[in-house]
Amino acid sequence: MKILIVEDDLMQRRFLQVLLTSKSEQNSIVEGLKAGADDYLIKPYRH
């Protein structure tokens, strides 16, 4: 998974950073939240 890390400044604090992905593994969630996401949403995966 490639995560874009955005520099932290006051202007960006006005927007929530939410990841929407089909990756539901625990390590992917932790990695996304550590990268600065405010929330991590897992979309349904259909075959």
Does residue 7 belong to any structural domain of this protein?
Answer: no
Number of domains, the chain: 1
Say which residues have a Cβ less than 8 Å from residue 8's Cβ, sequence separation at least 6.
36
Give pLDDT, residue 20.
86
Tell me if 6 is assigned to some domain.
no
Give domain status of residue 38, yes or no: yes
Q: For the residues 41-45, what does the mean pLDDT come to?
A: 82
Question: Is residue 17 in a domain?
Answer: yes
Residue 4 lies in a domain: no
Q: Is 47 part of a structural domain of the chain?
A: no
Domain assignment present for 3: no
pTM of the model: 0.60
Residue 44 has a pLDDT of 82
Q: What percent of the chain has pLDDT over 90?
A: 6
Highest mean pLDDT among 8-12, 33-37, 42-46: 33-37
Measured CA distances, 23 to 7, 15, 37, 41 (Å): 24, 23, 15, 9
User: Can you give the residue range of the structural domain that contains 38?
Assistant: 12-42
Check pLDDT > 80 for residue 31.
yes
